[in-house]
A = this chain, B = another copy of it.
């Protein structure tokens, strides 16, 4: 047990160190972490992220991990690998292979200035599925709430929400439409002001 706790502390500290060393505050609350999460990805760090989420969510009886393309895929895949579960990523563009009816929900993005539509096929989200949502960021919670609505439409059960980085100052955690499940973030940023990134105390 001590080892697991130590491993979790290790990932949180190394993740925070990477955010401080490589993260760029682009103003308006936008954090650029393109060097290890959003454009270039560090697979070893993602493997640690997956282990940390798997440890935190091990006892939920999840049957599937759900994320949204694009940047949620790496942490969700590694979490699903650790938990021995399939992972489904909600599509933002309709692939040519998606010919049957799908669940669609809009996720307004203030950083993109437009709605993104998330699509999940009912083939891969069944009534009774126990869904763990993993995404790269918990910020305004618009994306995660859209995923939660899809889970509800599918009559599946949400069992937990994990985000690699939480931008606490955007208040998304309080706006999650399902507050009954555990919500875990591996690095919680309380403020970004003038390029200075502050984390919540563990």
- A residues with a Cβ closer than 8 A to B are 24, 26, 30-36, 38-44, 46-47, 69-70, 73-74, 77-78, 80-81, 84-89, 91-93, 95-99, 111-112, 120-121, 123-124
Contacts and interface: CB of A to CB of B under 8 A. Distances in A.
A44 B87 CA distance: 11
Contacts of A80: 41, 43
Given A86-B42, A88-B40, A95-B39, A121 B81 contact: no
Contact of A41 (B26, B30, B41, B86): B86
A26 B73 CA distance: 26
25 contacts: A24-B97, A26-B96, A26-B99, A30-B97, A31-B97, A33-B97, A34-B124, A39-B88, A39-B121, A40-B87, A40-B88, A41-B87, A41-B89, A42-B86, A43-B85, A43-B87, A44-B81, A44-B84, A46-B81, A69-B69, A69-B70, A70-B70, A73-B74, A73-B77, A77-B77
